[in-house]
Structure 1
Amino acid sequence: MTGTERSTGGSAASWDPAVYLRFASERARPFTELVARVGAENPGVVLDLGCGEGSGTAALARRWPGARVIGVDSSPEMLAAAERAAAGVEFVVGDVRDWAPDGPVDLVVSNAVLHWIPGHDRLLAGWAGWLRPGGWLAVQVPGNFRAPTHAVLADLCRSPAWADRLAEVAPSPDAVLEPAGYLDVLTGAGLAADVWETTYLHVLTGTDPVLGWVRSTVLRPVLARLGDDDAARLTADYAAALRTAYPVRPDGTTVLPFRRIFAVGTRPT
């Protein structure tokens, strides 16, 4: 996934590349800024774990044209789009929680994937173990799980009207670590680490644009549990709450603050 809030294989809901790419430029920026911190010069094997619709994987192949670039994702819909977007790249259907390469690698990239995986600190340490000396690991996760987009939805999922069906898929405020936690994971795995965070102010337009943003991310597994009528009812309540939390500005735009956490590590030679 590129800036994907993408799948690992644990959800029954299918991914729609067209919906996800509605905000392609906003979602691409964190990936670009993540990979800009990677100092690999001539990597032999590059992995994009949770590659989604493949635009980021294609960018990796352009930056390192001599590398064997492999994109891994569990969504057939996303991989179909990826194969069109990134010629010359290998794509593999797999769940990043248990997929493994056939040998040591030079670069592992995972953009907006790990927040879907409870206990992903252990997974991240395992990925670090794949690196050759001089190899790089670069990950980005959303850091907005206490923001209204997620807190309001969590409250709805746990409310009396929905708890019996949705409580277990309510967004968790602790889905990701704080930046210091990722620093500890990478240094504990023997890497020299660079960890930082950024809050983007996305200026959105149109009707209920924040709802449009979350349809392809945090709302997707929730709606997958409901029939059409119930999904419409919950979506209407959620949209109303989002309009209050993210009001339209006088110029007709809506600002969505979005915090992201970045962690890059390299194995010393």
Structure 2
Amino acid sequence: MEKFGWNSSTYLKFKEERTQPSRDLAAAIKLEAPKRIVDIGCGPGNSTAVLKAKYPEAEVIGVDNSENMLEKARVNHPDITFVYCDVSKGFEGVEELEGGFDVVFSNACIQWVPDHHKLIPNMLGLLKKGGVMAVQVPLTERQPMHKALGDIAKLGKWQGRFPDLGSYHTLSAEEYYDILTEHADYFRMWETTYYHRLNGCEDVIEWYRGSALRPYLQRLDEVEQKEFEAKLLEMIKDSYHVQKNGEIIFRFPRLFFTASV
């Protein structure tokens, strides 16, 4: 969330790897000529650009609650409209979101937003009849880094420093299934695990500097940040096998679903 100071440059160091799930999610949208599309949690605009490339004639709007991300998105993609919206507070008052959408898209965003039992119906509520909602959420609970963050927060000098961090709002597949059964006319769900090629565990740390590590590091001074990252590196090393060429496989599972009303 914005209070943790998103940094678009750090996030985009793995632009191709972060963008591929949005390409796969966009490919699952079978509408031929949608007129209005919204990308919720657009970040620096890489996922929004995927939508604009697929549907060049559509009006595409990206929304995010990070001014840093929106600034980068506007510079990189001047042909797309980007507006501020904190979706955790709803969509009211955002003029650009009035009138309904043919596609409501969200790639790797809603894990930061609480109360999905309310959020998912609200997102579906932005759709015109026959429209499609397309969502992807990282399955963070399977990641060695997230286990390490939970463990390190209980150790020594770090104990008690991060009482409000470490939890995501992602639900189980079964819970999303029940929400979609109640609120959508049709939906489908699937899971993909991406096998990213990274140069080593140091790259895993670098990956998370653009996401999950942000709120932790921003509570620490420069010396503490280096100590914290060094301890994390020690804790995750045994989770990754070093290949013959020196690289590691960074497995990243993600849950996808599309729904229509």
- TM score, norm. by length of structure 2: 0.92
The structure where helix makes up a greater share of residues is: 2
3-state SS of 1:209 partner: helix
Match for residue 229 of structure 1?
A: 223
Alignment map for 1:5-154 (pairs within 5 Å)? 7=1, 9=2, 12-100=3-91, 101-154=97-150
Give the aligned CA root-mean-square deviation in angstroms.
1.7
Residue deviations 1:142-165 (CA, integer Å, cap 9, x gap): 013232110011111133422322
Task: Report if aligned partners of 1:139, 1:262 keep a CA contact under 8 Å in 2.
Answer: yes
Task: Report if aligned partners of 1:20, 1:216 keep a CA contact under 8 Å in 2.
Answer: yes
Match for residue 206 of structure 2?
A: 212
Quote the offset at 1:206 in angstroms.
Answer: 5.0
Match for residue 197 of structure 2?
A: 203
Quote the offset at 1:190 in angstroms.
Answer: 2.5
Q: Choose from 222, 235, 243 the match for 2:237.
A: 243
Quote the offset at 1:27 in angstroms.
Answer: 1.0
- TM score, norm. by length of structure 1: 0.89
Aligned equivalents of 2:187, 2:201: Cα separation in 1: 41
Aligned equivalents of 2:165, 2:10: Cα separation in 1: 21
Sequence identity of aligned pairs in percent? Answer: 35
Q: List runs of 5+ in structure 1 lacking aligned partners.
A: 1-6
Residue deviations 1:149-201 (CA, integer Å, cap 9, x gap): 100111111334223221321245xx422223222222211330010001111
The alignment of Structure 1 onto Structure 2 pairs a total of residues equal to 256
Match for residue 94 of structure 2?
A: none
Aligned equivalents of 1:126, 1:23: Cα separation in 2: 31
Q: List runs of 5+ in structure 2 lacking aligned partners.
A: 92-96
Aligned equivalents of 1:41, 1:184: Cα separation in 2: 28
